[in-house]
Amino acid sequence: MAYKTAKRTILSLACFLLTAIVMQVPNISFGQTVATIEIKSGVSASFRGLSVVDDSVAWLGGTNGTVGVSVNGGRQWKWNKVLGCEKCDFRSIFAFDDRSAVIANAGTPAVIFITRDGGAHWKETYRLDDTNAFIDGITFTESGDGIAYGDPLTGRLLVLTSSDNGESWTTLPTDYRPEAQAGEASFAASGTCVHMFSNQHWIIATGGKVSSLLETKNSGRSWQHINTPILQGKSSTGIFSFYGLSKKNWLIVGGDYTQDTITTNNAFYTRNAGRKWLRPKVPPRGYRECISRATPGKNQSILTLGPRGIDISHSNGKTWLPYADDRQLHVVKHARKGTTTIAAGGNGKIVLIR
């Protein structure tokens, strides 16, 4: 009897201490697994644009002209609306620090903004009112060279370049823009179908009835069309995210967003820049919208996610394992400098990855 009483006392004390610890952490509630911590964002926007600078600074872009910035590793956020663009969907965002970021609207108008005061004010730096214009992604090198790209216009992808951290943009000449095949476009599900290995070496991932990689090593003067075995053939299929481990080691994920439980041909990796594609022994658990590293270093882990959960690979894409069952997530990013990983998605959902 004394043993049972002591056991109950210990259990009660442990529960009290755990409750006290949780109450001391602001704006945080535990998700479905200990692998994630869900943040109470206080907004209802759907997020697909995410940029994590370091262990302190992160930015989010979403629907209804919503942009957020965090300076404490994603635990708390300050929200702003871009005046005059309250209906914009900012699926593409790249942040340089806690004061400077570039955002792009997915849809008409195809417009890009920049802020230098933490989101309080935004300056329009590019606009195209063509009803067929749709910006799918934007990225920069650390030296300030950047590219933005969008769906095909008159048979060629829209490609813009910047050499001044997004202060101005130049449209590539028509002959420098890659040709798209019939039914080939791209997806802005997480703004991660574009990658810059250098200011001259770029990759763009396409999707739809044809899904491939477009590679240039000379700033767009010529392009190589790289076939992929990813699920394709319908407007809802293809590559939804590209991740470059190195100039030759790449990973692609995607599938069919209308059938998000299908695991057939939803992930591949290559070790020779796309000359040969390899299928993982165990694929992710369905359609996946984004892929990102989870830890730095040579033996880094990789995360991929979609509407039905998060998967992880400790083998650079050779095998995928379930990581967490968090729903409604669209995008995941690891800090460019640091160890912080953040995911975000529908209805204001923000998750810290442990």
What is the three-state SS of the chain? CHHHHHHHHHHHHHHHHHHHHHHCCCCEEECCCCCEEEECCCCCCCEEEEEECECCCEEEEECCCEEEEECCCCCCCEEEECCCCCCCCCCEEEECCCCCEEEECCCCCEEEEEECCCCCCCEEEEEECCCCCCEEEEEECCCCCEEEEEEEECCEEEEEEECCCCCCCEECCHHHCCECCCCEECCCCCCCCEEECCCCCEEEECEECCCEEEEECCCCCCCEEEECCCCCCCCCEEEEEEEECCCCCEEEEEEECCCCCCCCCCEEEECCCCCCCECCCECCCCCCCEEEECCCCCCCCEEEEECCEEEEECCCCCECEEEECCCCEEEEEECCECCCEEEEEHHHCEEEEC
CA distance 28 to 40: 6
**Residue 324 is part of which domain span?**
28-353
Mean local confidence (pLDDT), 221-235: 98
Residue 22 within a domain: no
Residue 93 within a domain: yes
Residue 2 within a domain: no
CA distance 319 to 252: 13
**pLDDT at residue number 16:** 41
Residue 49 is encoded by which pair of tokens? 């644009």
CA distance 338 to 87: 33
Residue with token string 């975000």: 344
**pLDDT at residue number 82:** 96
Record the pTM: 0.89
Domains in the chain: how many in total? 1
230-282 pLDDT, tens digit each: 999 999 999 999 999 999 999 999 999 999 999 999 999 999 999 999 999 99
Residue 130 within a domain: yes
For the chain, the average pLDDT equals 91
Residue 18 within a domain: no
Contacts of 318 (CB under 8 A, 6+ apart): 269, 278, 280, 281
87-136 pLDDT, tens digit each: 999 999 999 999 999 999 999 999 999 999 999 999 999 999 999 999 99
The CATH number covering residue 349 comes to 2.130.10.10
Residue 92 within a domain: yes
Residue 11 within a domain: no
Residue 70 within a domain: yes
32-73 pLDDT, tens digit each: 345 899 999 999 999 999 999 999 999 999 999 999 999 999
**What is the pLDDT confidence band of residue 354, given thresholds at 50, 70 and 90?**
confident
CA distance 162 to 147: 6
Residue 24 is encoded by which pair of tokens? 């001391």
